[in-house]
Structure 1
Amino acid sequence: MCYLKKLQIMKILIDNSNLYAGGGIQVATSFLYDLITICDENQYHVVQSVNSAKQINKLDFDKRFQFYDLTEKDKSILNRIKKLKEIEKQIKPNVIFTVFGPSYHKSKFPKVVGFALGQVLYPKSPYFKKISRLSNFKVKLTSYLKSYFFKKNSDVLIYESDDANKIYSTITKNKIVGYTVSNTVNSVFFNCRGWREVNVGKSDLDILYLTANYPHKNMEIIPKVIDKILEIGKLENFRFHLSVTKEEMNFDEKYDQYINYLGKVEIKQIPLLYKKMDMLFMPTLLETFSTTYLEAMISEIPIVTSNMSFAKDICGDAALYCEPLSATDYATKISLLASHKELSNDLIEKGKVNLLRFGTSMDRTKKYLKILEKHANANNQK
């Protein structure tokens, strides 16, 4: 089915070369699959990281798409830059779209870059208080460098929220053109034919934390939350389902009966995974936008999350909020939600209403294309 027709034919280079895990890969994959259903004559040249390449089946794509899969040896920034420059020289695109930046090199062609650097936007996050001085220094240095490359190599920036747009536009003194394109539920949720099963052992209360293991995700609080839940005494047969491996977390073996390590979950497995869960747990300390909240809402499960401004901006009154570093508060809210069906149903209903504020994946894709077309046009008119 075709959703729109393009007035201008473009040669678009989609740069997914720096995507490793988490929401970035989900957005990039959803964007590619949306493009399949759009009737246009654009040429889409897609540079894929090792991990982003694993999320798609090239047989799903028509002749408009050409893929350039990077290898393990291309993981270093210098090797990636060299490879990307070669591809750019070969293709001569009308516009480049780095789905999530920064891009580490300046291009001869207009470059639109997605921005999701919460470390720069929210320097007062408790995340910075909980990490060591050395880690704090490393994070701030890395953030400074990434911000430098965002400013140096981006012609246009796309933000996931108005808040992010406002904050970073102030930092850049409005020298870079910026647009807000809100994140949304992945299109896979609306196509049940593509869903894949994921096997999980059921308990009386199944709690999902769908995330990659980044320090700001606050995953190390989970054993403490388990201890507090057991102290409260209202729950015994419960389990946290985590999209990481046991080796990544190195939690004490005594917690194994309360944790199911899923490892990396494929996008097509996510909808059915949510259907097996009773609630979403999100103790994250730093985000620009997380579609995980929206996925829980569309899957009709309640949310327990950190009391952070970005979480409130997305969830509104459709979640229970906790002190970000308080295992006791998380455990109390989880136990409360598990024992009060009316509260759970109320949050689910509020989530359905809240979800209406956000468009579909296709809405987001159309906005991306309009921005790309606008700046490809601007370049051609020079």
Structure 2
Amino acid sequence: MKILINTASTYKGGGVQVAQSFLEECQQFRDHEYHVVLGEMIAELIDTNRYPSNFFFYKIGYRPATRVLGFKSQSEFFEKLEQKVNPDVVFTTSGPAYWRPHAPHVVGYNLPHYVYKDSPFFNQISFWKKKKWALKGAIVTHFFKKEADAYVVQTDDVNERLQPIVKSHRVYTVSNTYNQHYEHPRKFGDKLHRQSDQEFRFLILSAWHAHKNLEIIPTVIKALPEAVRERVRFVVTLPEEDFKRSFSDKLGEHIINVGPIRPEEGPSLYKECDALFLPTLLECFSATYAEAMKMGKPIITSDLGFAHTVCGDAALYADPVNPNEWAARIIQLINDSDLRQTLIQNGREEQKKFLSARQRAERYLDICRKVVKADRNKDRKIVVVNQAVNYLTVGLCNAFTEEFGQVDLITGSIHEQGESLKKSVRVTKMNTWVDRPSWKKMLSYVWGCLRIYTLLLTRYRKHDVFFMSLPPMAYLLSIVLPNRCSMLIWDVYPDVFKITGMTETNLLYKTWAKLNKIAFKKAHRVYTIGVKMAELLANYVDREKIQITPIWSIFQSNGKVEKENNPFVLAQQLQDKFVVQYSGNIGLTHNVETMIALAEKMKDHDDILFQIIGRGTRVPHLKALVKEKNLLNCQFLPFQSDEMFPYSLSAADIGVVILDEATSKGSVPSKSYNLMSYGIPALYIAGEDSELYDYAVKYQHAKCVSSSNLQEAANFILSLKSDCNLREKYAQNAVKASQNYRRSNADKIVEYYLA
């Protein structure tokens, strides 16, 4: 790519460090051509002679924001440069740029005042200053909305707040991080006097801004008991004029000013201090948090959302406008060495979520590639078809919005879990899917296919078409459609019919098989979710055409709730039970009768409960079976609400996934991935030719047994129940396995689609 990097609007604070770091790291990515506009502050930090021949630098003599209300054009310099360079993409490291390029434009957002309007900062300023910030915010937001095709922010919290402001879903989160100088610190001379044994130093690595709340420091000092006050020193890095204007000479012994420091001097100064103190009222992301964690320093900071988002358990928090609370936290930290070590250790864990400087640069470049692709595909349209939409379809639709100008969805119902459907996706309603009785289900499929066919021939005749799971025969419409069609196969038909006793010589089976060969051969892309399913599909299409892309869990991290804090456990009185849980649909391919047979085999173990949560055509039959066998160790519950689902899933000691062995090669229930994400050991009851069997062998997080060998299943349950170390080993393996089944798999589907 030919990238125009604009740093003209970056002139102070963390934005300068981010821009400098990005430029330095870009030297590692030599496939691109970089044209860099150097703002006045950045120009002082960059030695252009050190950069390779694929870098071109242009100094700008003004800051664009200073010309917004003036007579001189703020964009003339950029317009001439773009015409000369003709870039593929423009990346403004900190916006707004006050310029709308012709090329796709990615803009960094780092202005907390306009996304955190609930900050206590606004309670401390005058009425007229509030009006000034409101006016400035309106102007800045106007330019952000007008000039950008995509935005980059540093936390998910800012991402959620910014999207409704700029009315765009193309907002990407790329975490800030410590400067690369913290990876390989250079040695500098000490800036502070030799530290006495009793002295405790708090570093405040910040410029003077009203929202940094540094003026609270004198009142915090006064709130400290005299014995503690004598020990505490605050180390600030302010220009001398700011320091003298803001702090009384009387506080000189408690506040030490070393003056502004260069980024490479930061690690050295941290080593001379004991903790980070940051009473800020507004941040998008302060790199000082990450730096303190990297340098092994505990943190005391403001009890505000942005701070919790970044610091997690690595900090003590105080009401930012209450000096007594700040003093209490200081006393707590100084007097408790174990607490300091805990915060330091927590900081090591928290910093794992931050990207390295190189990873951050790589993510920026990936976003630039995405935006370039999206610009090239802005006239392309795709419609996704699924009669009953769940989180998987939502994720895929959202992924398509990153690359297509228009994404539509034909569906009868939408069930959002974990991820909301982006507002840019246009939804066209069709008839809903009916679960039972069977004749109504089939009627809903047939009527659905007719509705889909009509829509694709009329309203969506110029769209690409992407078929998903329902109606199960809908993808066969591609045979007679003029559209370019693709399909994601979760259950392989007609093979699934074998569970009913249907043979391959049956007319319906043979007809569907022949239609499969025609549809798959004509398709643009054919996806499936596992190796075994690909082997099955290879009976209908060349194996080389099948793309294997695993699906993903509702949960993108381990949010399992321990039993003692679990409201579902309390409500169902499961505190003393070892719960073997099946949670999901109870239909043809699931053979949940196996759970009943297993419960019967283990009915003498009163503390083991077999819990069946879900709905489906077989529920009445299963309940009758339990009643007939007088099994007191079985519990039936309906599907839980979305709010309760994480708790019901967390209640499981073992999660059960069942497939009828006649068709287990052709299906992988999504519950398998939810169990992995929550670190719940699994019992798979399926054949050795199934994807589930391969998972169990590969990840060692589950046991896969045949339904004909339930004694082995019972032994597995008893072994996990009696051995907590073994149970923990399976749980850890499950969480590790879940890393392969993340939401990013939806992006891979789209990536292959466009390849």
TM-score (norm. length: structure 2): 0.47
The aligned amino acid for 1:199 is: K
* Alignment check: 8 A CA contact 1:95 1:109 kept: yes
TM alignment of 1:284-303, pairs within 5 A: 284-303=280-299
**Equivalent in the alignment of 1:58:** 48
Could you tell me how far apart the structure 2 residues matched to 1:363 and 1:226 are? 40
In 2, Cα distance between equivalents of 1:373 and 1:307? 37
- Give the alignment of 1:187-266 within 5 angstroms: 187-192=180-185, 194=186, 196-197=188-189, 199-203=191-195, 204-229=199-224, 231-249=225-243, 250=245, 251-266=247-262
Structure scoring higher RCO (CA < 8 A, sep ≥ 6) equals: 1
**Aligned partner letter, 2:48:** K
Number of the residue aligned with 2:144: 150
- The answer to whether the 8 A contact 1:209-1:241 is kept is yes
Corresponding letter in the other structure for 1:182: S
- SS for the counterpart of 2:176 is coil
- Show the counterpart of 1:166: 160
Match of 2:32 in 1: 42
Whether the 8 Å contact between 2:141 and 2:165 is mirrored in structure 1 is no
Q: Using the TM superposition, give the Cα deviation of residue 102 of structure 1 relative to its aligned residue in structure 2, in angstroms.
A: 0.9
Q: Is the 8 A contact 2:176 2:285 kept in 1?
A: yes
| Alpha-carbon distance in structure 2 between the residues aligned to 1:261 and 1:225 | 17
**Equivalent in 2, 25, 37 of residue 16 of structure 2:** 25
Task: Specify the SS of the correspondent of 2:202.
Answer: strand
Following the alignment from structure 1 to structure 2, what is the Cα–Cα distance between the partners of residues 35 and 89?
23
Aligned counterparts of 1:274 and 1:79: Cα–Cα separation in 2: 43
Please tell me whether the aligned partners of residues 73 and 79 of structure 1 are also in contact (alpha carbons under 8 angstroms).
no
Kept in 2: contact 1:126–1:285 (CA 8 A): yes
What is the distance in 2 between the residues matched to 1:276 and 1:205?
10
Alignment of 1:93 with 2:87, yes or no, is yes
Q: Which amino acid aligns with 1:173?
A: K
Deviation digits for residues 88-133 of structure 1 (CA, Å, limit 9, x no counterpart): 2221211110011111121111110011221221111100001111
Tell me, yes or no, if the aligned pair for 1:198 and 1:269 is still in contact at 8 Å: no
Q: Does 2:154 align with 1:177?
A: no
Q: Is 1:132–2:126 an aligned residue pair?
A: yes
Structure 2: distance between partners of 1:206 and 1:116? 29
Letter in 1 for 2:192: V
Aligned length: 369
Mapped to 2, the partners of 1:233 and 1:86 lie a distance apart of 64
Q: Could you tell me how far 1:288 is from its partner in structure 2?
A: 1.3
Give the Cα separation in 1 of the matches to 2:153 and 2:160: 9
Aligned mates of 1:299, 1:79 — CA distance in 2 = 45
SS state of the match for residue 57, structure 2? Answer: strand
CA contact (8 A) 1:210 1:292 kept: yes
How far apart, CA to CA, are the structure 1 residues paired with 2:51 and 2:305?
39
SS of the equivalent of 1:184 reads coil
**Mean alpha-carbon deviation: is it higher for 54-63 or for 303-312?**
54-63
Deviation of 1:339 after TM superposition, in Å, equals 2.2
> Could you list the runs of 5+ residues in structure 1 that have no partner in the other structure?
1-9
Q: Which residue in 2 is equivalent to 1:4?
A: none
| Residues 1:86 and 1:160: Cα distance change in structure 2 (over 3 Å) | same
Report if aligned partners of 1:213, 1:248 keep a CA contact under 8 Å in 2: yes
Mapped partners of 2:102, 2:354: distance in 1: 35
Contact 2:40-2:61 within 8 A present in 1 as well: yes
Counterpart of 2:4 in structure 1 is 13
Q: Distance in 1 between matches of 2:188 and 2:32?
A: 31
Aligned-pair identity (%)? 35
Give the C-alpha shift of residue 73 in structure 1.
8.0
Residue 111 of structure 2 corresponds to which residue in structure 1? Answer: 117
- Which blocks of at least 5 consecutive residues in structure 2 are unaligned? 379-755
Pairing partner for 2:179 from 168, 183, 186: 186
Q: Which one of 344, 350, 353 corresponds to residue 354 of structure 1? A: 350
SS of structure 2 residue aligned to 1:54: helix
Cα distance in structure 1, aligned partners of 2:167 and 2:134: 20
Q: Per-residue CA shift, 1:151-195, capped at 9, x if unaligned?
A: 111111112111211122123333x52211111222221123x56
Supply the distance in 1 between the matched residues of 2:146 and 2:64 (Cα, whole angstroms): 22
- Contact kept in structure 2, 1:208 and 1:280, CA below 8 Å: yes
Q: Is the 8 A contact 1:164 1:288 kept in 2?
A: yes
- Are 2:308 and 1:308 equivalent residues in the alignment? no
- Distance in 1, Cα, partners of 2:209 & 2:325: 22
Q: In the alignment, residue 12 of structure 1 is paired with which amino acid? A: I
Range with bigger deviation, 234-243 or 271-280 = 234-243
